[in-house]
């Protein structure tokens, strides 16, 4: 059995002051995965690759050829700098690479990504570029994939992804999230399942078991899994109550569905805001190890 391939750039961990989004979690997760597999670093994407998912004006703002306004930054809830731009562009390429590895190896493991709030023409919710859309559209542009699906289990609805893929019946978007929190106005996807605050393992896993097969009924050639861990019971930005065992069983359910239907999966990390940043990183690393099919215990 080949060792797993982890996709990661040290430039993901970009300083953004005392921001609620802990970019250092990516570096910590990568550190925890050292010795468990090989690491591959993405390169910056071309402008044409960014244009697969984004408008020319937004692309040029990201590239710095048009000024990123204060209003743009406020809407995205992120400060903008060349370093922030590079981090998000590299993550975009990272999911493209994860999709390619998934098609070749059965699974692609991205120690980053999952920026599901980014729209084609603006950023939202700490997300500037929608790497999920970029990865799938790149595979389609290369003729590697005809149909695809997104399985988004972040605590927040994947509004940007749903908006980008609206009117694209060949791409099925499934988001299961907490209802009544960010985003204030969700964008309808192919299948949206809103759960009440306080939802625990049993109810959550029952809802996932009932709805997950619909993503596979769409007969995708590839799935991107947004595996946000902000559904955990101690997360600062969510109100769901998944235990560590519940998170593991959630990931196992997705992994086993991919295996059962013989669909390759690219895994992205998404959100996670535990008070202890090392615990957030640990949860992300466990998800990737579980999908790699190796021991997911991390001290």
pLDDT of residue 19: 87
**Gyration radius from the chain CA atoms:** 17
Residue 142 lies in a domain: yes
pLDDT tens-digit series, residues 96-119: 999 999 999 999 999 999 999 999
CA dist., res. 33 & res. 282, Å (int): 9
Residue 196 lies in a domain: yes
pLDDT tens-digit series, residues 34-45: 999 999 999 999
pLDDT of residue 112: 98
Q: How far is CA 1 from CA 4, 30, 75, 100, 291, in A?
A: 9, 21, 45, 19, 14
Q: Which domain holds residue 55?
A: 5-292
Rounded to two decimals, what is the model's pTM? Answer: 0.96
CA dist., res. 211 & res. 225, Å (int): 15
Is the CB of residue 116 less than 8 Å from the CB of residue 130? yes
pLDDT of residue 18: 82
DSSP-derived 3-state class of residue 224:
strand
258 membership: H or E segment, kind and range = helix 244-260
Residue 299 lies in a domain: no
CA dist., res. 101 & res. 265, Å (int): 9
pLDDT tens-digit series, residues 173-227: 999 999 999 999 999 999 999 999 999 999 999 999 999 999 999 999 999 999 9
pLDDT of residue 178: 98
Residue 297 lies in a domain: no
Residue 269 lies in a domain: yes
Question: Domain count of the chain?
Answer: 1
Instruction: Report the CATH number at residue 52.
Output: 3.40.800.20
Residue 103 lies in a domain: yes
| Cβ count within 10 A of residue 136 | 33
Percent of the chain with pLDDT over 70: 98
- Quick one: 298 exposed, middle or buried, by C-beta within 10 A (0-12, 13-18, 19+)? middle
Which residue bears the tokens 């010795």?
35
Residue 298 lies in a domain: no
pLDDT of residue 2: 72
pLDDT of residue 17: 82
Q: What is the DSSP letter of 4?
A: P
């Amino acid at each position: 059995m080949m060792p797993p391939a982890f996709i990661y750039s040290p430039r993901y961990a970009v300083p953004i002051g005392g921001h609620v989004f802990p970019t250092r979690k990516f570096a910590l997760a990568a550190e925890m995965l050292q010795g468990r597999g090989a690491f591959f670093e993405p390169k910056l994407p071309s402008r044409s690759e960014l244009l697969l998912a984004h408008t020319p004006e937004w692309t040029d703002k990201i590239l710095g050829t048009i000024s990123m306004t204060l209003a743009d930054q406020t809407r995205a809830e992120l400060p903008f700098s060349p370093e922030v731009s590079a981090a998000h562009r590299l993550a975009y390429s990272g999911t493209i690479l994860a999709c390619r590895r998934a098609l070749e190896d059965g699974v692609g493991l991205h120690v980053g990504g999952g920026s599901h709030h980014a729209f084609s023409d603006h950023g939202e919710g700490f997300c500037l570029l929608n790497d999920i859309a970029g990865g799938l559209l790149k595979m389609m542009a290369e003729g590697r994939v005809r149909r695809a699906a997104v399985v988004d289990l972040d605590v927040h609805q994947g509004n940007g992804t749903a908006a980008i893929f609206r009117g694209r019946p060949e791409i099925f978007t499934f988001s299961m999230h907490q209802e009544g929190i960010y985003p204030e106005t969700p964008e309808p996807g192919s299948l949206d399942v809103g759960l009440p605050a306080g939802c625990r393992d049993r109810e959550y896993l029952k809802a996932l078991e009932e709805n997950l097969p619909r993503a596979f009924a769409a007969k995708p050639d590839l799935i991107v899994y947004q595996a946000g861990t902000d559904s955990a019971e101690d997360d600062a930005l969510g109100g769901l109550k998944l235990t560590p065992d519940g998170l593991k069983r959630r990931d196992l359910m997705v992994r086993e569905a991919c295996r059962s239907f013989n669909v390759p999966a690219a895994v992205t990390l998404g959100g996670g805001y535990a008070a202890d940043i090392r615990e957030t990183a640990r949860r992300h690393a466990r998800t990737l190890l579980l999908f790699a099919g190796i021991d997911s215990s991390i001290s």
